[in-house]
Structure 1
């Protein structure tokens, strides 16, 4: 049996550690950090390449940064950008900006000058915090010179490392340090830290905390407006579904980039809510992550499917100590069944799939960490989250019972809207019985146990002679082939049928004595296993498929590459 709406929930507890209707009490994010710093001042909050930072240290630096921002004229509501990898300065700058009443804007360290400048202008960012790294600082300076950006605050990597590593960086690897320009609008981050107390503003949970940029449901980058209440609620919701012993140490592996909403909630904010610790690596490097897992003994590891595949492919995978891990959580993209099975078999660690969006502050649903789970689903809605399916062709109506529909969501984590885009409000939200629901653009089903399954994205469906083909269903069949590692299916123009499916794949290494499979062989294998209208016109084997900045397979980029305008 399937249903088209799930409020109130059925069953009431959803198998999570706390009932679905548990109360979620949001707070300003920095207030949660302050409370934890007072309760456990010397407990570790951040471990970075061997150096440990306590709650007291991070909170004190955040507070000094807040005083420095106010002293230098950053006013309540001003935008402060973070153009940083996973470093301790990110954590203190993030919470410090919020203490000062500023709005944080996340910028990917992989942005080009043009991408960074565009987002600076759209957000109205006044101050950008960055790192003295050759891949970051020169880009930031160019944007400072060519945009409305007013100031740079530059953190020094050597200041955040253990003593020996800091000396080695400064003496033996100076090429990895970018020279800091001697100019009035560029200063060290340490110079922004003030010991002179200033009055900090009273922040409410409805106040804007973060602009998180996303392609959204229309593909145009725009800033999702996330309040303190949105972000703290989602962190609390994620903490609520954790069934593990709360007296045991809680250490999360921070391999996801903090600039991304998945890590922002599941690595950063949830860790502070729980009073745990995060182990940060500057960027995802499989070898470094594997060594860090063995060294620091984390209990949880959130990641995207390509991360878990990269770990499996690394030569040190078999030598890694997985004994501390209780749970791995996959999000950001569908988890292929063969990958999950292989990872779990090799590590003994449960790998569950969840789902979320930038517009939902990170998390909407997940498979339970213990007990019943359903492979191929994105699990059950997290506490206080309502879901419903709308008709794919007419979003003013519910989907027919038993039929897939567009997934829409309500809950305390749902964004306020898009920054400076009032015109998108109508398309981003749907009204039903007087309530506003976030439209996801994803086609889903809901079963009798409250498990959601994403069928596909509305905009990715392929129209073949009047039939709708879901690319994800064809991809899931391809991934059953033992030599297929990754797959993306897109529609190509067809003068007779409108469109026809074409598959693009990468391959695993063939086994001993086995020749690599060809595209024609895969095409014959696939087309014998799918419906007539789902058959691929071609299967193209490639060395790699395009991925987003956090490692998700990027259908949009593939389409732009192979189907130029």
Structure 2
């Protein structure tokens, strides 16, 4: 099917001064960004973490050591390596080292449960896994999905004294008094000795795979995005130019997790492209991050709306010196204008909204950083990025400005396709366009606005939750006959996960047991926060598909019915997935102030 109609690019007239319409992209692998940064400003601070600092020269040397060690362990070009890490000093050296060795990185979410981790390892055939020691209980050591080589790292040595003790207590709790590692594991420091700072990188092509990024799924075959070296380098290059090609001037706050495309691109790769200093933080708490902002003086903060909401609440309570922040780019969910304006008042920063999706590396749109951003819009397409609105019914007829239709994207950052899923690839990529599944509108000047989602995706605290995946897990609970999952509005998190459960006939539904099952089998953001038990069948169309829209309308409106709240967060804390948080306790049920650390917030829709 071919999109018909006249196309133009009115947004080009509204680009900030100095931002070109088209760019020249280096014909290099994505690891070239680090090599170039180290050659340009070798002594510039690349990373900071709890008072520890690494220059670009040192970061490159670590990446080369990882590359050499991986190849010594038998990694072949194109093989996958899993990363089960929070934002810590080992993440970027591991990532760039994988690419330098010719490998493909598979970022894994530390808030997954063990069966989710094993499913993704098995489906992507990760033979090697680099993992935080506190997360080792999530890793299957025998059977399908078990890695041949397990590299274990720990971060307690970087932490302040009291946090270091809490970390070690958590380590005993999860690994036992001996703290012994599995037989197939090697400690990070020993692993590095197997490589060399002079290791030459593998010659890879721009179209070779760099990342396989899981986008959701708790079943045996989750959908995962394939991003090439060209995709990632192009998007980093686009953002480097969008921010004014500033080199060696900026400090970037990296609270958004690297295991998600938003955090990786906006806090990691684009920061390396600009020779920025990346301030790593592995768990978000508004008060602690605001103190970190006071200490490190970041100039750029990539964020999700829930983070800014939490910042605003804390800044109303107590005064912090946050005047050095220059730019804030928000993604992951719609940014309320009042939230943006309040944070701008506190900091003096320019706060803009952006948009993207994992399938586009992820950023496709961003608000201009010169003060001309328009509230309520996702801004303008990045250089070399085409965006159009087509009719949602056929996806082939170009719509004029002001009309609502499906948003289509085309550009060098758009994925190759989905891993081992040609049907989903064919549905998403048609005639060179990425069909986003989002309903949007474009004004006459080329500013875009997201209106709604064609899909039933739930976004809670900036985290994507796929109802079908949650339903598939909940249906395994012995008391459930049928279940429908959907999102309901929430002022702090954007949406909450809600469920309507039809119990099995003749069985008394036990809510406590249901919640315990969810804690065991679903990561924290996927667990239903509101549950309704219905003795009536779920509403379905003629084809048997559940009409989630009717359920949302029933329970979301001002006059809608109330749903029962889930158990309080404190009751869930002990069963949450392990987290290397500053307080070093198991991850709590998410609140807005947890958005960046206990989730992969993204600019997705």
TM range (shorter): 0.7 to 0.9
> C-alpha separation between the residues in 1 aligned to 2:46 and 2:318?
29
In the alignment, is residue 499 of structure 1 matched against residue 493 of structure 2?
no
Preserved contact between residue 4 and residue 390 of structure 1 (Cα < 8 Å): no
> C-alpha separation between the residues in 2 aligned to 1:494 and 1:51?
56
Distance 1:555 1:214, change over 3 A: closer
- State the Cα RMSD in Å: 3.5
Structure 1 segment 106-255 matched on structure 2, within 5 A = 106-133=107-134, 136-140=135-139, 142-143=140-141, 147-159=145-157, 161=158, 165=160, 174-177=168-171, 179=175, 180-193=179-192, 194-196=194-196, 200-215=201-216, 221-243=222-244, 246=246, 249-255=249-255
Preserved contact between residue 10 and residue 445 of structure 2 (Cα < 8 Å): no
> C-alpha separation between the residues in 2 aligned to 1:495 and 1:55?
57
> C-alpha separation between the residues in 2 aligned to 1:307 and 1:138?
29
Superposed CA deviations along residues 72-118 of structure 1, whole A, max 9, x for unmatched, are: 10111110111000001001000001000000000011111011011
Structure 1 segment 24-103 matched on structure 2, within 5 A = 24-103=25-104
More contact order relative to length (CA 8 Å, sep ≥ 6)? 2
| 3-state secondary structure, aligned to 2:201 | coil
Deviation at 1:195, TM superposition (A): 4.3
Which residue pairs with 2:507 in the alignment?
A: none
What is the aligned residue count?
495
Distance 1:400 1:491, change over 3 A: farther
Distance 1:182 1:395, change over 3 A: closer
| 3-state secondary structure, aligned to 2:407 | strand
Deviation at 1:252, TM superposition (A): 0.4
Superposed CA deviations along residues 25-66 of structure 1, whole A, max 9, x for unmatched, are: 353121221121122222100000111111111111110110
Preserved contact between residue 488 and residue 503 of structure 1 (Cα < 8 Å): no
| 3-state secondary structure, aligned to 2:406 | strand
Which residue pairs with 2:330 in the alignment?
A: 330
Which residue pairs with 2:397 in the alignment?
A: 397
> C-alpha separation between the residues in 1 aligned to 2:105 and 2:47?
20
Which residue pairs with 1:448 in the alignment?
A: 444
> C-alpha separation between the residues in 2 aligned to 1:110 and 1:61?
27
Structure 1 segment 468-483 matched on structure 2, within 5 A = none
Deviation at 1:396, TM superposition (A): 2.8
Superposed CA deviations along residues 124-151 of structure 1, whole A, max 9, x for unmatched, are: 1111101122xx12222x3556634222
Preserved contact between residue 231 and residue 361 of structure 2 (Cα < 8 Å): yes
Structure-1-length-normalised TM-score: 0.79
> C-alpha separation between the residues in 1 aligned to 2:379 and 2:86?
30
Deviation at 1:240, TM superposition (A): 0.9
Which residue pairs with 1:457 in the alignment?
A: 453
> C-alpha separation between the residues in 2 aligned to 1:220 and 1:306?
30
Superposed CA deviations along residues 424-445 of structure 1, whole A, max 9, x for unmatched, are: 12211222xxxx1001000111
Superposed CA deviations along residues 387-434 of structure 1, whole A, max 9, x for unmatched, are: 111210111332366421110101010000011111212211222xxx
Which residue pairs with 1:271 in the alignment?
A: 271
Distance 1:418 1:187, change over 3 A: same
Structure-2-length-normalised TM-score: 0.74
Superposed CA deviations along residues 307-361 of structure 1, whole A, max 9, x for unmatched, are: 1112222378632211110011110111122222222233332211000000000
Deviation at 1:447, TM superposition (A): 0.9
> C-alpha separation between the residues in 1 aligned to 2:247 and 2:454?
44
| 3-state secondary structure, aligned to 1:295 | helix
Distance 1:550 1:195, change over 3 A: closer
After the TM superposition, which of the residue ranges 303-312 and 230-239 deviates more from structure 2? 303-312
Preserved contact between residue 309 and residue 339 of structure 2 (Cα < 8 Å): yes
Preserved contact between residue 327 and residue 349 of structure 1 (Cα < 8 Å): yes
Which residue pairs with 2:259 in the alignment?
A: 259
| 3-state secondary structure, aligned to 1:125 | coil
Structure 1 segment 541-560 matched on structure 2, within 5 A = 550=599
| 3-state secondary structure, aligned to 1:502 | helix
Which residue pairs with 2:482 in the alignment?
A: none
Distance 1:418 1:500, change over 3 A: closer
Distance 1:79 1:173, change over 3 A: closer
